[in-house]
Structure 1
């Protein structure tokens, strides 16, 4: 089978350190990047990649089969539009955009063509195994999903770890559309819908700007429920020390409990335990601990470009963005 050729718009640390290796691990080939940054171009060039200043020029070269967009959130629209005009499928980082208006515009540009929002957590092998176990009745009827997904991102943080390094646009409300909550919480919201097999119908958010001195939230609590009455709760944060336990996913059912530890995140591995509600007995849930969520996501999107079955959906992602945006706007008014 011919390898899928990828282009990347925005060659920052996530694209460079996680998606590029994920594409390779999935059997794809990263051939080009579009990024005006001299540092990004030098990094890509040293890896033997073609470099371009903009996405339109890269696509005109005709060397890519699909595009991964990893620019700052407020710059997603132009690469997506350029790819749609060129007939190239797009996998775009979450959120769809920094604002709901831009997300709706992206949705209109996509139409019925292949597009995926890069909710990599729904592709993590551990989470896919959990979803299958829930569908098979391992915990009975689901009752609640509980998530802790937190990290430390202070005002001086830079993606290369050096003071004065690349700008942390995730703390810029115009570029990111918010702070810790818009960056981290959407992963859990989308993942809950995968695990439960039904969308969230209600959502409430409380924000905090507790520790870090920047103009966005550094933490938040989300709560909601599906139309079928399953409860959702999530704590996300930029103010939790990295050495602390900070990545946990629980799905409670009438007959059992699934607990995933250290699966939420960018790397492979973690553990999943199934506890029986009748006996208390615990067992490990098997999954591919060597495959990262980025590699699994790249493999799934490559298969979709070849016409294979997939669960990427701009309509589903826009529905979630609308629900989130309304709750986030109410929360901002109280911050």
Structure 2
């Protein structure tokens, strides 16, 4: 089989991660790097691939089968439109755009042209998430009633000292971290149609929030609560519980989501199930059937690049579309608005 040639635009932290999984892929190969920075020269040399300063130069000299766009957020739409114009499929890192307005422009053009776009919500490719979704879709929990989620962790002081923009509006855990959680929750529980939030900056004292309490309403009628903080010393976050990113310490006794229905609950990512086998057994005075669902733990970036290869070759449709990316961004911005105004914000998909 001839390997699918993938170029990576953006040789930063995320771009390097993509390069690593492409180089290890059985079906894809790294064909080029696109980055104007001096540091990219050594990166391309070590990878043994050509370096181009722009997408225009890449498309003119060495057109790949697909491109991973891991460039700064403010360049996402500009670069995605170049790929659409060139007819090159793309894996566009999240967020799909800096603002909902810009994302709407991109989605409109993508749908007009039929462009192949996979949005880089890599947790959508997590075997843990796939197994949790399977259990829910099989009806093991009954009708979904509630979800309790958290992403609480402590970012060290140097995280903010190294990049002071992280202290300012436009950063903060809602815009930097919550977009990951929004897609996970939508994947497991369905569309989010309304949000409400309280935000605080009382701990760090920065102009941007450090802690947020969020209420969610799902299209199917379930309700959710979500606790988000980058200053709470806790392990209840995906990074510290999923065991997928080895850069983080892991605590196998912790969960970041509990999803409850009329027949039972599932804790993720420990995959602990507490269920009733029969309707007549459902009572808080009666014991649950307690089990742990089998699950494979593996790097979702690896699965994402294989799926992208399938999208490029026309073997699959993107499991995270540009419109999905737009809706994730719309909900994330709605949480910001809800916290600012104290109002309930409608997020029904349009």
Matched, 1:190 2:183: yes
Runs of 4+ residues over 4 Å off in structure 1: 167-173
CA offset at residue 333 of structure 1? 4.9
Matched, 1:202 2:178: no
- 1:333–1:178 distance in 2 versus 1, CA, 3 Å: farther
CA offset at residue 285 of structure 1? 1.8
CA offset at residue 229 of structure 1? 0.7
C-alpha root-mean-square deviation of aligned residues, in Å? 2.5
Q: List alignment gaps of at least 5 residues for structure 1.
A: 262-270
CA offset at residue 135 of structure 1? 0.8
CA–CA separation in structure 1 for the residues paired with 2:207 and 2:40: 27
CA–CA separation in structure 1 for the residues paired with 2:131 and 2:232: 28
- 1:128–1:321 distance in 2 versus 1, CA, 3 Å: same
CA–CA separation in structure 1 for the residues paired with 2:312 and 2:175: 28
Partner secondary structure for residue 267 of structure 2: strand
Q: Using structure 2 for the length normalisation, give the TM-score.
A: 0.80
Residues 133-152 of structure 1: pairs in structure 2 closer than 5 A: 133-152=135-154
- 1:42–1:213 distance in 2 versus 1, CA, 3 Å: farther
CA offset at residue 56 of structure 1? 2.2
Partner secondary structure for residue 113 of structure 1: coil
CA–CA separation in structure 1 for the residues paired with 2:139 and 2:24: 32
CA offset at residue 170 of structure 1? 5.0
CA–CA separation in structure 1 for the residues paired with 2:151 and 2:103: 24
CA offset at residue 127 of structure 1? 0.5
1:228 aligned to 220, 227, 238, which one? 220
Greater Cα offset, 311-320 or 187-196:
311-320
Partner residue, 1:239:
231
Kept in 2, the 8 Å contact 1:22–1:292? The answer is no
- 1:221–1:50 distance in 2 versus 1, CA, 3 Å: farther
Residues 168-179 of structure 1: pairs in structure 2 closer than 5 A: 171=167, 173=169, 177-179=170-172
Partner secondary structure for residue 224 of structure 2: strand
Kept in 1, the 8 Å contact 2:214–2:335? The answer is no
Kept in 2, the 8 Å contact 1:34–1:54? The answer is yes
1:53-106 alpha-carbon deviations (Å, 9 max, x no partner): 222222323342112222222221121111111111121121112212221222
Q: List alignment gaps of at least 5 residues for structure 2.
A: 239-255, 277-281, 343-350
1:1-49 alpha-carbon deviations (Å, 9 max, x no partner): 3222222222211221x32233344432222222222223323322223
Residues 1-335 of structure 1: pairs in structure 2 closer than 5 A: 1-16=1-16, 18-27=17-26, 28-111=28-111, 112-154=114-156, 156-157=158-159, 167=163, 171=167, 173=169, 177-196=170-189, 198-212=190-204, 214-241=206-233, 244-247=235-238, 248-261=256-269, 271-277=270-276, 279-289=287-297, 291-310=298-317, 311-333=319-341
CA offset at residue 133 of structure 1? 1.0
Alignment length (residue pairs) = 312
Partner secondary structure for residue 157 of structure 1: helix
1:181-218 alpha-carbon deviations (Å, 9 max, x no partner): 1122122211222112x311111233222444544333
- 1:46–1:300 distance in 2 versus 1, CA, 3 Å: same
CA–CA separation in structure 2 for the residues paired with 1:230 and 1:26: 39
Larger Rg: 2
CA–CA separation in structure 2 for the residues paired with 1:63 and 1:296: 24
Q: Using structure 1 for the length normalisation, give the TM-score.
A: 0.83
